[in-house]
Structures are given as C-alpha cells and as structure tokens.
Structure 1
C-alpha cells in the first residue's frame, strides 16, 4: 500500500491535488486538522511501499520518516516548514524550501513545470502569500477578477482546515480533497454551484462576523493580541483571521488566541508582513509550538505563559 500524507490546509490539499491530477493514484490518505502535523508516525510502511508527504514539518515527523526508511519504504517529502537535519538516504527524495515567500504547492508547481499553475496560485493565496500570488496571477495573464476568485477559494480551503478536532470542520480534509480533485481548474470549482465553494463561503462569512466583533485584548506598536472564546466558530476562524489582521497591519505582528477546553490557549501568530521572519522560532520556544518564519502557532499555551509569549514576540521584533 502507498500513502499520501498531507496537511489539511489549503497548501497541503492543493499540493497533493496537483500531484494526483498529474499522476492519478488511489493511495491511502493520511491527514487531519491543520494543527495535526505528526502524521507520518501513523503509518507503518513496509519495504516497497511509498510515502508522499506534503506540507508538514520534517522536524516534527523525523522519527516516522526514519522508521519508514529503515523498513525499506520510499519517501517523497515536500515542505516549507522547519526541517531540522534532513537524513541522507537513497530512498528519500526531499524537496524542502524554507523561503518565507514560498509554500509546498509552489514547490510542487515547479516540479510539475506549471501543469496546474492556477491551483498553485490558489494555494499561495490560501497560505497568505498575497503579494507572491498577485504577481504569479498577473504573470499568468489572469484578470484581477479571476485573481480575486482564486484568493477567495484559497482562503476558504485554508479556513476549513482550522479546528481542534475534525468535528469543528465543515469538511474532513480528505473529503474536501476528494471533492476538489474533480476540477482541473480552481475557477471551475467556483463556477460549479454543487461544489463546496458556496457552503464554505457562507460559513466563513458567518464566523468572520463573530471574530470582528471581538476587540483587541492587547495592542502595542509591535503586536496585537486577540482572545477568542472556546467555541467551534472561534477555532475555525482563528488562523484566517490572523491572516486578515496581518494584511491590514503589515508592520505589526498579530496573535489570535482561542481558549482550549482545558483552559490553555491555541495560538496563531503572524509575523509582520514587512518583516516575514521569526514566527516559527518564537513559537518553538514554547512546548507544542512550531511553524515557519511568517506564520506559526502553539497548540496549548498555558494562560500563565501569555505574558511570556508577548514578551518573546515583542523582544524579537524590537531587536
């Protein structure tokens, strides 16, 4: 058996989408909510089997990768998050690019020589690489209206991945991937009234209205912090709300915190768009934290560590 292992957000879904549109395969799908990134460990691969791993940190999955390789499996790994030390092995093909202005779907786009380029642009929008995606859309000859459509779809696919558990989501990421696999172009998704687009659009608007009604809990020149309640809508909207805030205030960092059932905080941190670095390093200072330079998070930040988190963010960007 072969496995497709991917992040449940827009980048992970669309990275796999491109690969399987180019090379159709019926592999076992391993995915989950966006924060569920320890996915390779769920697979006990045997010799001759192949793992395709997309948009999850190799650093967080290194034990599973090494076990698969030692069992004789082949691993293809594409990602843009913190990788740690990449093993050297004849059965490992690693395409890792930590540039803050790329994403996994763009790495796959290069591999496929732009075969499904509009999908890759959609993923870039979903991963909040707005300037990069705008340039790619213009270079591809898309109209501004078409680019806005891809931006909305990418945002909606990304929005669907956020939640503490699968029940928080509108679509299981594997099911959403399966629904989107029917479309060669993302514009076809938007044109089809029976696609997931309409349902996600309506749900996103409802959840965003709830978030916009919550005032900042803390604000300085370097950082704004928003605290959202322990509610499904808050868990769904937190990440894309952080992206929205980052685009509205590009010279400041933004953190959206959602209360977990155990009283801790789920943290989504966005680096200033004018200084897209440090988010992953900051969050990695805390247990359950990690991510990439421009966007990162902490799954369970104890409430008594909130002030330490604020100090860490402001200390980094003050330097």
Structure 2
C-alpha cells in the first residue's frame, strides 16, 4: 500500500503547521508557563490557549470530517490523521480529540468556540477548562498529572473509547515520535565532545537510527489504519505509535543528556505527554487484547 499524499493533503498539513508555528514563535504558554513553577517543585498547567483554539477552529481542524452541508470540510480519517500528527509534533495542549469528536454534536465545538472534555477510558483531560463535558465524566476526581501541561481526572467507571479517538491519539503520538527523532538528530549533529559531533559515536548513531525506524513503521501503520478504518488495524497502529513516541522521547533524552531534563528543553515535555496519551483508553491493554483475539480467530 502506497501513501503518496495528494497536493490537497500536503497543503492541509502545511496550513496546520503554519498556524501552530505562528503561535509557537510568539512564545506559547504551553512551553513557557511550566517553567515558572519549576523552582517551587510544581508546574500547574496553563489554561487552554483560546486564541489558538479559535484559530484551529477557523482552519477547520475540529470540523474536518463534518459534511459540507453542515459547515465542515467533508474530509475523512486520512486527513484528520495528518492534522493530528502535526498537533502532536507541536505539543499543542488541550482536549483536541474530544473537541474534534464533538463537532456537529456540541454547539461551538466545530468552530473552536467551545472546549469539550470527555472521558477516555478511566481518564478525562482538561475537565476544569472545558465549556462542555460529555456524559461519562461524572464523579471524576482530580489527579496529579505526570505531564505539567495536561491536567487529568480519574472517573470511577471507565468509559467506552471510540476507535476514531484511538486512531487520532495514535496520530498525535506519531507527531511526537517524529519531533523527538528530529530533535535527537539535530542535537547529535551540533553537540560536540572530544572535538567531534556526538553523532559520530556509534551508540548515538544507533539511538537515532532506531528512533527513525520506529517512526516510519508507526507512520505506515497509522496511515494504513486511517485508510481502512478497521478496529484491528487501529489497535496495531496505536501500539506502534505509543512505542515510537515513548521510546523515541526516552532515547532523545539520552542523546541530550542532562540538558533534556531542563525547562529550557522541550524534550522531557514530549516524553511526559507521550506517557499520558499512552494511558488513554485504558492504556495499550485493550488494543493488545483486540489484536490477540483477532489472531486467535485467524488461527482457529
């Protein structure tokens, strides 16, 4: 299966990167605010950037899959995956998946006027910031999140997770995996020790090469799942994307050394976000069980 992007898909991806890039260049709250609380041992999550949220709505990120008759773009899962890959790449915070899924159901969600939170398995993200909370988040209890940019609550009864939500989370993980791979390679080229770039050392080369392999394997799986929409394909894509994001971010930290743990670096933020995303929908367990059941059925 070949995944050659059309001109329209490439333009869509470039438009999202341009919009997010303009907010990044202005010093976005999601990369700056956590540093203020670092000295005190805590970093409360900044509020959802409403300006960016409106810009994403205007761009059509949330209404992407709505029919044109309902004010959407009438596009499909492949385009949504490309968009969410870019959002993951830029570490954009907020309940992106929940708001996207609520478009056409919750007034204002499609245009970015409303921030929507929803239970995803046993967790709900950004509950206190949401304008609308979907059913299933009742009785949620606040938890201390490993990611200072993603406040989370635990719900007493795990909610059912839609395959589309799993796929879009996998796309975000793919974006993070690609970003940390690039950061590792860039640092390996410019950081010098013993009179040469650290990328000249075999151990560093292997970390970067293995990260790239995981990214490309995950990308093929995520893109394929977006085309087929099959639940088993989505489960496989989710597991590969989780691995690419988490292991890639850990290896990127290894390449950066102690510098990667500082607030001046975004590397540790990607790792923490990847950890939180990997817990959505009950973690990878449900995807593993779905794959196991499918394989067992084929064997029998």
* Higher relative helix content: 2
Higher relative contact order (CA 8 A, sep 6+): 2
**Which of the five TM-score ranges fits, normalised by the shorter chain?**
under 0.3
